[in-house]
Structure 1
Amino acid sequence: MTDSIIVQKFGGTSVGSIDRIRAVAEQVIKTKEHGHSVVVVVSAMSGETNRLQVLANQVDTLPSSRELDVLLSAGEQVSMSLLAMTLQKLGHDAVSLTGWQAGIQTDEKHAQARIIGINTDAINQQLQLGKIVIVAGFQGITEQGNISTLGRGGSDTTAVTLAGYLGAKECQIYTDVDGVYSCDPRVVTAARKLDTIGFQDMIDMAKYGAKVLHLPCVEFAEQHNLPIRVLSSFSPLQGTLVKAQESSGGVVGVALRRNLMQITSNNETIDKLVAQCNEQELEVFRVLSKDQSGVVVSQVDLAKLMQVIHEEAVHIDDVCSVSLIGRSNLSSIQALEALLAEDDIEIVSHSLCERHTMMLLAPEYLDKAANIIHDVYVDQNELLSVSKRRVS
């Protein structure tokens, strides 16, 4: 029975209305009728998490993280119960389980919790009864018995981790796009869908801004060699298979991030901020600028740091990032600076490593820069010289 389990995850757009929930139910039934045991993980209906967050912020701009998790977890519970009702209406036995009912155990870090284990007894018991099991994504329970959430995109992590613990044949992530693209196709119309991508390249794409898959879910999949198939809820195409494979070399894709804040100051202050971010487990990138040391954090995390830096001599700017993902030449930043300068776009600061080149720009230049960089670098075996830029 274990070999026949398929875990399917459906995102918020896929369950955004009763009609779409019925379409999801029909897709799940097809999988069931092909002889598989099916476990479905659902996100909240599109827009619901934002609605709940707004309500919380009307009460308090910095609400209790515990109570916020209790509130936000309700969105997925609405989706799971509606899907179970729909499946039952269509003649199939189904049962919905919250994160804690499904045995999903997390650490104590609210809003960004990590799954530390899953007791699959309840799920396996329902599967043995022939039921389709629907699990609320994005949530679990701490050792202290508190509801926790996994952060935006956490339903992906729920699905992949469940697939690993259940020994599933495959984890299928259904979303509103038909696979992983070389860049966000809403920004770069020339972006191409990747038939396959290696775990490490996908981890880097997710880390630096691609929103198709939640970073922890890809990390778990790599550790357990569990293939992930990214599919569209609205298209019959085969999507993208994320699996163990060697990087082909060169640039695999271009990842974009908005709503970032760059903090620049002296080395001593920046060291303090990095230490504070590490202590609070906040995401932080150290960057190189022309005159000063700097770090980049999200706008959300900046609010958490303000209590530490309000008396420091710092400069804070709105920025966005464009990152080339794949093995690259560490001297490539000069070529990128020259390339973007042709369109009067300045690189504010940058970060380089073997597998990525991240550039920070003023937000108004992000889309234009993404198209220029994708034009020149994607699908090349090495960084090209500026002279090879496509004639527009």
Structure 2
Amino acid sequence: MALVVQKFGGTSMGSIERIKHVARRVLQEKEKGNDVVVVVSAMAGETDRLINLVKEITAEPNERDMDFVVSTGEQVSAGLLSIVLNNMGYPAVSLTGWQAGIKTDNAFTKARILDIDVERIKKHLKEGKLVVITGFQGITEEGDITTLGRGGSDTSAVALAAALNADRCDIYTDVDGVYTADPRIVPQAKRIDVLSYEEMLELASLGAKVLQIRSVEFAMKYNVPLRVRSTFTEDEGTLIKEEDETMERVVVRGIAHNKNEARITVERVPDKPGIAARIFDALAEANIPVDMIVQNVSVDGYTDISFTVEKNDASKAEKITKEVANEIGARNVIRDDRIAKVSVVGLGMRSHAGVAGKVFETLAKYGINIVMISTSEIKISCIVEEKFTELAVRVLHEAFGLDKSE
């Protein structure tokens, strides 16, 4: 007997009929003799509806209250699925994230899981029950409800799989796996059968929306095998696992893009030790993650510093940066929301030369200017004007022959 954690996203839970279909997928696993823990997202569109209700009141709500409101969407989904399963004659119990023992820090709207007490879940499994748990949420030491950020149900599922020492974690969604690029942009994109944790981590961080980045971090840390598959087909999907020696044979595995980026530039910053730290320490204190950072060569003792943040954080980041800029005597702060990040990812980049040159040459050929560049062993990311996003993805996909891959 295996222990399997299944996660179903908002599209899978989008209606009563779809919830009944999810129940049948759960029972397929149960009838194999396995114990099953199910993690669910809110019904499609429900989290946005709840957020919009809050924004009708204020553009900057108290984040604790925001979490209190938006966490209710998953509770409805879990309750409905449990009712369906019980109605089909299979004992099930629904649990909120806090009832399931998920403890987090107090970074409201983007909390991190600190610990999971799985004793209650194990008790229900021993009783032969299917356990249905709300994703996306937990509770602080003080007893406040928190949410884990967009896509947080993936993180809930993988963290629970790790805490329960589950045999695997299946992420069910409306796509049948991870593709070499977004098929809506590149019709020739191919499904990838197997990915390493590291490749998936880069793809998720760079804009591939199949999995939340923190869920991949958990899977990698605790070696939880992940399978991304469709709720609506029997396809095996994409397996995400530890790297093996065959994976480096493919130079570039996929092209990712992210339009949820904003660039903030601080002009004429005094080029002195500790000045940049004051900017980024202030952003860190506000729980605003910074992605790419570029500092120009110093001229006459001054420099420009540019960095990118998520668009959702851009307004807050701009406000904080302006405050620090005034304190340090910088000249101006400029914000640009009309940018996008396009990235190429692959383990094979470690052992193959010329990838960066090919990226730059391809983009230049089509008149796409690169604003910022960031690299790692297995990725190259370029910030470009947002209007060139789709073109950049398509030409890079073709340049690296990904339409001919597996």
TM-score normalised to the size of structure 1?
Answer: 0.92
Match of 1:138 among 123, 136, 139: 136
Structure 2 counterparts to residues 92-241 of structure 1, below 5 A = 92-241=90-239
Which range is displaced more, 15-24 or 339-348? 339-348
Partner of residue 354, structure 1: 377
CA shift, 1:364, in A, is 1.1
Question: Could you give the per-residue CA deviations for residues 71-101 of structure 1, whole angstroms, max 9, x where no partner exists?
Answer: 0100000100010111111111111000111
1:322 paired residue among 338, 342, 364: 342
- Give, in whole Å, the separation in 1 of the partners of 2:282 and 2:182: 32
**Amino acid of the residue matched to residue 280 of structure 1?**
A
Check if 1:294 corresponds to 2:306: yes
TM value normalised by structure 2: 0.89
Q: Which letter does structure 2 place at the counterpart of 1:323?
A: S
**Deviation at residue 289 of structure 1 after TM alignment:** 8.0
Moved more, 258-267 or 192-201: 258-267
Range moving further from structure 2, 311-320 or 363-372: 311-320
Residue 57 in 1 paired to residue 66 in 2?
no
1: CA distance between counterparts of 2:261 and 2:46? 24
85-94 vs 70-79, which moves further: 85-94
Equivalent residue letter for 1:342: K
Name the amino acid aligned to 1:325. Answer: V
Tell me, in whole angstroms, the C-alpha distance in 2 between the residues paired with 1:374 and 1:338.
Answer: 14
> Relative to structure 2, which stretch is displaced further, 259-268 or 211-220?
259-268
Kept after mapping to 1: 8 A contact 2:110/2:147: yes
**Cα displacement (A) at 1:332:** 4.9
Give me the whole-angstrom Cα distance separating, in 1, the residues matched to 2:202 and 2:401: 15
Structure 1 portions without partners, runs of 5+ = 381-392
SS of the equivalent of 2:25 reads: helix
The Cα offsets for residues 210-233 of structure 1, whole Å up to 9 and x where unpaired, read as 111111111111111110011100
On the 8 A contact 2:42/2:77 being kept in 1, the answer is yes
Q: Which deviations, in whole Å up to 9, do the C-alpha atoms of 1:43-85 show, x marking residues without a partner?
A: 0000000000001111110101100001010000010001011
State how far apart, in whole Å, the 1-side matches of 2:88 and 2:240 are.
32
Structure 2 equivalent of residue 251 of structure 1: 252
Rounded to whole Å, the distance in 2 between the matches of 1:108 and 1:331 is 45
Amino acid at match of 2:283: C
Deviations 1:96-123 (A, max 9, x none): 0001111111111111111111111111
Q: What RMSD over aligned residues (CA atoms) do the two structures have, in Å?
A: 1.9
Counterpart secondary structure, 1:310: helix
Aligned to 2:279: 273
| Offset of residue 370 of structure 1 | 0.3
**Equivalent of 1:339 in 354, 362, 368:** 362
Note if contact 1:270-1:295 (Cα within 8 Å) is conserved in structure 2: no
CA contact 1:198–1:244 (8 Å) conserved in 2: yes
Amino acid paired to 2:333? V
| Mapped contact 2:103–2:140 kept (Cα < 8 A) | yes
1:123-173 Cα distance to aligned partner (Å, 9 max, x none): 111111111110000000000100000001110111111111111111000
User: 1:19 and 1:348 mapped to 2: Cα distance?
Assistant: 47
2:292 maps to amino acid:
R
Kept after mapping to 2: 8 A contact 1:77/1:98: yes
Q: Does the Cα contact within 8 Å between 2:318 and 2:335 map onto a contact in 1?
A: no
Q: 1:371 to 1:290 in 2, by over 3 A?
A: farther
Change in Cα spacing, 1:331 to 1:240, as seen in structure 2 (3 Å) is closer
The number of residues matched between the two structures is 378
